[in-house]
Structure 1
Amino acid sequence: MRITLVGSRHFGVTTFDMLRNHGVEIARVVVADGEDRLAAAARAAGVEVTVQADPKLVVGSEIAEGTDLIVTAHSHARISQGALAAAKLGGIGYHPSLLPRHRGIAAVEWTIREGDPIAGGTVYHLAERMDAGAIAAQEWCFVKKGETARELWERALAPLGQKLLAQVIDYAKTHKSLPAKPQDEQFATRAPALSH
């Protein structure tokens, strides 16, 4: 299975490492910033790196030829319809909430702000609307009392992301398709960036 990984930062690197240990081929890494640590990790491993022409959008020509699946890991760019069409199975991303709850850039912060006793992670199909694609895998975890958003992310949600992405990739390798359960729109909530 050939994967184009779109991402950044620490979660991008841990996802890169997980994929490399998971018997898939990383055909290309796409980043918004050529100096990002994910770009450095990919170059060190001899994987081709492409820097997005537009940091907010990934286009079809930036996806490696023959890609089976696009995986996003800490990417804030929209994956265009053309990019999704360039991959046999489309694309998946990890969102640190129990979608459709807390759609948006600040999901973990909103989990803490709302006092949610339970958090979770969702691997979802990349779609036209942000964080609104069908659910491929989902799992919940408890939120500790007094925990910060960063602590919750590092303790539970980032490791959960690796686990769920690996599960969905294993499924895709076996079935040549992705599991898909539509999100129930009546439960959708927004998690826009919080101004401090």
Structure 2
Amino acid sequence: MHRDRLRSWSYPRHTPWTPAAELRARHVPEDTAVIVAAHSHAFIGRATRARAQVAAIRYHPSLPPLHRGRDAIRWTIRDGEKVTGGTVYHLTDRVDAGPVAAQEHVFVPPGATAENLWREQLASLGVELLLRVLHDLAAGHRVEVPQSEQLATWEPALDAAPLLKPELPELPAGPPTASS
């Protein structure tokens, strides 16, 4: 059975909790300063984001504009990359494409799996980056570095069909010919 630690933390503290997939503007109190999304695949719409007086931010376990999408860590491992990282960005109408508030890289150890890379490096990096951004926002310092669309990649969910990376050229059908 999967236990949601954030939800378990919220109830005894009387902190309102709404599953991210169901989060709507009506769920966000008027005096909310910051909306923080982490380890969530739910899209937070414009009206909901607008309820935050200061910012609406999310942690993503990669280095956007690279590896936008739900399976960023799994694609990092699948592609054999040696470097990845974490990013806190401001939420916008485009998934994983908002301006970067904080970003740090980490090296991918040989033999790493998506699970141990998350547990041993990227989860704690996310906490550090979120705290840094929240500290900056509290001090009135709002960092917003635009992402380069020319460098952007979108990684589809690995368990969803069809498996397609739109930025890659299509492969020709059939075996290569002498003129290929």
- Shorter-chain TM-score bucket reads 0.7 to 0.9
Letter in 2 for 1:40: S
SS at match of 1:122: strand
Mark the CA change 1:151 to 1:91 in structure 2 (over 3 Å): closer, same or farther: same
- Give the superposed CA RMSD: 1.7
1:71-96: per-residue Cα shift (whole Å, max 9, x none)? Answer: 00212211110011111123000000
Rounded Cα–Cα distance in structure 2 between residues aligned with 1:185 and 1:43: 40
Aligned residues with identical type, % of pairs: 44
Partner of 1:178: 142
Q: Give the aligned residue type for 2:6.
A: L
1:51 deviates by: 4.5
Distance, in Å, in 2 between the alignment partners of 1:154 and 1:179 is 27
1: CA distance between counterparts of 2:39 and 2:102?
17
Q: Does 1:84 align with 2:54?
A: no
Residue correspondence of structure 1 range 74-153 to structure 2 within 5 A: 74-153=39-118
1:47 matched to which residue of 2? 15
Q: Do the aligned residues in 2 keep the contact of 1:89 with 1:178 (CA within 8 Å)?
A: no
- Find the aligned partners of 1:159 and 1:36 in 2 and give their Cα distance: 17
Q: Which runs of 5+ in 1 are unaligned?
A: 1-8, 10-34
In the alignment, structure 2 segments of 5+ residues that lack a partner are: 161-180
1:192 and 2:156 aligned: yes
Corresponding residue of 1:161 = 126
Which stretches of structure 1, 4 residues or longer, exceed 4 Å deviation after superposition?
Answer: none
Aligned residues: 159
How far is 1:58 from its partner? 2.7
Q: Following TM superposition, by how much is the alpha carbon of 1:142 offset from its aligned partner in structure 2, in angstroms? A: 0.3
Q: Residue 51 and residue 142 in structure 1: after superposition, are their counterparts in 2 closer, same or farther (change >3 A)?
A: closer
**1:38 has 2:6 as partner:** yes
**Corresponding residue SS for 1:79:** coil
| CA displacement at 1:63 relative to structure 2 | 1.0
Using the size of structure 2 for normalisation, the TM-score is: 0.83
Q: Deviations over 1:72-128 (max 9, x none)?
A: 021221111001111112300000001100000000000001111101000000110
1:132-152, Cα deviation, whole Å (9 max, x unpaired): 000000000100011101111
TM-score, with structure 1 as normaliser: 0.76
Tell me how far apart the structure 2 counterparts of residues 106 and 51 of structure 1 sit (CA, whole Å). 20
Secondary structure at the aligned position of 1:160 is classed as helix
